[in-house]
């Protein structure tokens, strides 16, 4: 018998279910912030940026108004770089000031909460938002800091040796959400 780690993958959401979930999240955001002119979607790299763009499209379809979106890389604000390692930071690109805006941070999977904590610290350097809310496509638990999403696509309790992969066509050439077990 081989000592290789066999990784099993379970589909949590199909492409069609993922699309339906993103549309539902857009509706929920619009219910909470009906004035889309004050709304600013901010994706956390990598997949949060693409989710932000998809949400902006659906919000525009629902409201009839374009919704600004951008990217905020919190890499250098993390307090756990030694544990998670460094990667090449993406350029933060916000289309306008965050001052007095209804900011929605968008992340693919919330786990410990440390990425979101770092994103909040980075966002603070760009101005003072009227309110900051959080969208997470998947909440897998195991929080180390007291952060919870305001909008969540799916709650998937996991063990620490499992991972959740959100796959998007623009990044991964396929779409869906998968639970990966070692």
pLDDT digits (tens, 9 = 90+) for 1-50: 444 555 689 999 999 999 999 999 999 999 999 999 999 999 999 999 99
pLDDT at 14: 97
Q: What is the pLDDT, as a whole number, of residue 91?
A: 72
Q: Which residues of the chain have pLDDT under 70?
A: 1-7, 78, 80-90
The pTM score is 0.89
Going along the chain, which residue ranges are E strands?
A: 8-13, 39-43, 68-71, 102-110, 131-139, 151-155, 162-167, 176-181
Predicted pLDDT of residue 11? 96
Q: Yes or no: is domain 16-80+90-158 CATH 3.40.50.2020? A: yes
- Give the residue carrying structure tokens 């780690």: 5
- Cα–Cα distances in Å, from 166 out to 13, 18, 35, 75, 153? 9, 9, 29, 20, 11
Residue 96: per-residue pLDDT: 80
Distance CA 65, CA 61 (A): 8
């Amino acid at each position: 018998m081989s000592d290789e780690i066999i990784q099993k993958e379970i589909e949590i959401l199909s492409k069609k279910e993922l699309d339906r979930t993103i549309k539902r999240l857009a509706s929920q955001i619009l219910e909470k912030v009906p004035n889309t002119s004050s709304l600013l979607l901010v994706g956390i790299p990598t997949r949060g940026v693409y989710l932000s763009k998809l949400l902006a499209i659906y919000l525009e379809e629902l409201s009839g108004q374009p919704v600004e979106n951008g990217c905020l890389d919190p890499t250098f604000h993390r307090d756990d770089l030694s544990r998670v390692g460094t990667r090449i930071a993406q350029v933060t690109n916000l289309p306008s000031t965050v001052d007095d805006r209804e900011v929605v941070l968008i992340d693919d999977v919330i786990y410990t909460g440390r990425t979101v904590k770092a994103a909040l610290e980075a966002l603070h350097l760009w101005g003072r938002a009227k309110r900051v809310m959080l969208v997470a496509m998947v909440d897998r638990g195991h929080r180390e800091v007291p952060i919870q999403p305001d909008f969540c696509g799916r709650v998937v309790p996991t063990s620490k040796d499992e991972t959740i992969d959100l796959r998007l066509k623009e990044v991964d050439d396929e779409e869906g959400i998968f639970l990966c077990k070692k």
